[in-house]
Structure formats: C-alpha cells, structure tokens
Amino acid sequence: MDKMLYVAMTGAKQILQAQAVNNHNMANASTDGFRADLHRFSTYPVYGAGYPTRANAVAENLGFDPGSGTLHETGRKLDIAIQGSGWIAIQAPDGSEAYTRAGNLRITSTGILETATGHPVLGDGGPVTVPPSTQLAIGGDGTISIVPQGLGPETLASVARIKLVDPAVAELAKGNDGLVRMKDGSSAPADASVRLVSGALEASNVNASQSMIQLIELARLFDLQVKAMTMAEENAATATKMLNLI
C-alpha cells in the first residue's frame, strides 16, 4: 500500500507543478511579447529494494514556445515589434545581456531608452541614449532617428541603433524573470536581417483556449491521484482489520 500511496502522492505533486506552469502562461496571455513555457510528463521507474515495478510521472520543463504572437498596431512611435524571428537585446538587472520580444519602450528623464519593465535597451556600444528631440522615428533595422530640440526637420539625424539578434532557439534559455539568455552565458552577435515594425506591438503567443482546456485536464488528473491515495488508505485499513481477525 505504501508504494501505491507514494506513486499517487508523487503524481499529485508533479501535476501541481504542471498546473503552476500552465497558470503562469494563462496569467500572461495578455502580456506583450510573452513566450509560453512548455512542459510534458515523462515516465521514470521507481528504483529501490526489489524489482522496479512502479513508475512515476514527472513533469519536465521543455523550455519555451518560440512561435510568434500576432502584431497589433498602436501608432505609438516608441512601440516596436519584431517581424518574424529575432530578439531585442536588453540589459538585465545583473548587467548581463538578455533578450525580449516586448517592444513597448520608453525614454527616461536622463535619455535612457528602456523597456516598460525598466530594462535598458542595448545598442552597438551599450545602453541606448536618446537626446532631447521634437521628432523620433525607429527604422526597420533598429536605427533611431531624431530631430533635435530647437531645430528644423532638415536636421533629422541617426543617433543610435537598437541591437537585434537572432540566435538558434536551441541556444537560448528562458529565465524565471521572463528574459531569454544564451545558454552558455555569451552575447549573441547583432543580426542585420532582423526587421522591426514601428508603431506596433507583438501579443503573447499563449493560446488561452488551449491553456484553459489543459487546466481542466490537469485538475481531473489531480483528482484521480487524490482518489488513488484515498483508495490506498482504505485498502490499508481493510488489511489491518483482516489481520486483527487472525
């Protein structure tokens, strides 16, 4: 009975972990540029004394879904979206280089270009700074052009270029902070083939309907594990009564 209880308990625990991943995806279904986390259940034998006659279902992390979300126009000059594959290079809180698809940018009072979550956007030589201007435009290749304050439109000039990268998905890993990094800790080289769409944002690639169905399936699986634990307890109680009759 103890083996049955152990397997059922382990299954319930793993299902709770899968539910946490699925719930996190659902919570970010409306987060711009969010990439859904992936998981699957794998079977692993339970080794110990005797033969491995039991197996556990273990929830494994499969990384993230690299698929693109839909683009929606905003008309805002500081909103950008990557068309196709690629990433926007940003500076993580620890100073390392990380990547995101969330292009809702802003300029701080000191002229630093950063994401809505406060991560500085990187250019060719570090964080991008934008001088005070009356007009601003971001080109398809990430070039930022401005008309300086106090000058006419004929003074339009390029002041920086956003670093855009496109490493292979297999070389990337998503952290708990939602940012993507190179698995080996290096920095990906800039890729001139990555293209931006200005005045638009990319929606999350989470399939809300599929996530809701999965939520129901996981709840049912958890209920089955709880019933198995209850059955193990009932069987143990019945066996104890039978032994008392001997």
3-state secondary structure the chain: CHHHHHHHHHHHHHHHHHHHHHHHHHHCCCCCCCCCEEEEEEEEECCCCCCCCCEEEEEEEEEECCCCCCEEECCCCCEEEEECCCEEEEECCCCCEEEECCCEEEECCCCEEEECCCCEEEECCEECECCCEEEEEECCCCEEEEEECCCCHHHCEEEEEECEECCCHHHEEECCCCCEEECCCCCCCECCCCEEEECEEECCCCCHHHHHHHHHHHHHHHHHHHHHHHHHHHHHHHHHHHHHCC
91 forms beta bridges with 97
Alpha-carbon radius of gyration of the chain: 26
Per-residue pLDDT at 240: 77
Output the pLDDT for position 170: 93
Tell me the pLDDT of the chain averaged across its residues.
90
Could you tell me how many residues make up the chain?
Answer: 246
Contact criterion met (CB below 8 Å) for 9 and 229: yes
Amino acid at 36: A
CB burial of 118-132 (b: ≥16 within 10 Å; e: otherwise) equals ebbbbbeeebbbbee
| Residue 124: per-residue pLDDT | 85
Pairing status of strand 143-148 against strand 195-198:
unpaired
Segment among 32-41, 178-187, 192-201, 230-239 with least mean pLDDT: 230-239
Strand partners, 89: 99
* The model's pTM: 0.82
| CA 182, chain centre distance (Å) | 14
Q: What is the pLDDT of residue 51?
A: 67
Residue 1 pLDDT > 60:
no
201-232 pLDDT tens trace: 999 999 999 999 999 999 998 998 888 888 88
Asked if 88 contacts 101 with a C-beta cutoff of 8 angstroms, the reply is: yes
pLDDT digits (tens, 9 = 90+) for 50-62: 666 677 778 888 8
The pLDDT assigned to 246 comes to 64
Plot region of 178 (φ>0 → left; ψ -120 to 50 → alpha; else → beta): left
